[in-house]
Amino acid sequence: MKRGEMDENTGQPAKRRSNPGEMFAQYFTRKCGVTVNPARPVLQCPLAGRTKSGRLLLYPADVLRLSTLRAEQLTKLPTLCSLYPEERMQRVKVALARIAASKLMKTMLAQTIVARGEVLRAPCIYAPAAQNHYNVILAVEYPGQAHRIHKTSDGWTTPIAGIPPPPSPPSRWLRGGRRGLAGADAWAFFWP
């Protein structure tokens, strides 16, 4: 590409001798069968196949692709086109300042937001340890103390003894069953 005609877009007439009123978008739809965005700019490129600078032709930006860059240049292109963190932070600050200065945001910040409901208790995690024995890990205490409890016919008893926490945080849930956790009938965390 030699240069872009930013004052011309593909929705304007192409000024061809055969049909002066035909637009760039219409010409490329008729000739190549492609749909072109009429709001995009027209770019001046050398005639395809010529290596020397010669006659420049006008092309819509939609039909062009990068062909003169080497593979290593193409891999560096996203880095070169990206913003530096300081510049991005500055743009975000300006956008937030614009939002905070708006009348709607001032109205919203002046009102108190009230939500009704209750906070749910943190769940207990029951992991089978032996027959009729489960380890209980309280979510509020994790990765602190875990307790071994005994399952009886009348319900759960108080913790009997402390056990050390697992070596790493749980990675996913497993449903206990004959194939899963040796016949356990409870949900439990799985540590890899």
- Which parts of the chain sit beneath pLDDT 50? 1, 142-152, 154-192
Contact 125, 139 (CB under 8 A): yes
Give me the amino acid identity at 27.
Answer: Y
| pLDDT for res 138 | 66
Tens of pLDDT along 80-111?
Answer: 667 777 888 898 899 999 998 998 888 888 88
Alpha helices in 51-102 (DSSP H): 71-81, 85-101
| pLDDT for res 93 | 92
| pLDDT for res 53 | 58
pTM: 0.31
Contact 112, 121 (CB under 8 A): no
Residues 6+ apart with CB under 8 A from 127: 134, 135, 136, 137, 181, 186, 188, 189
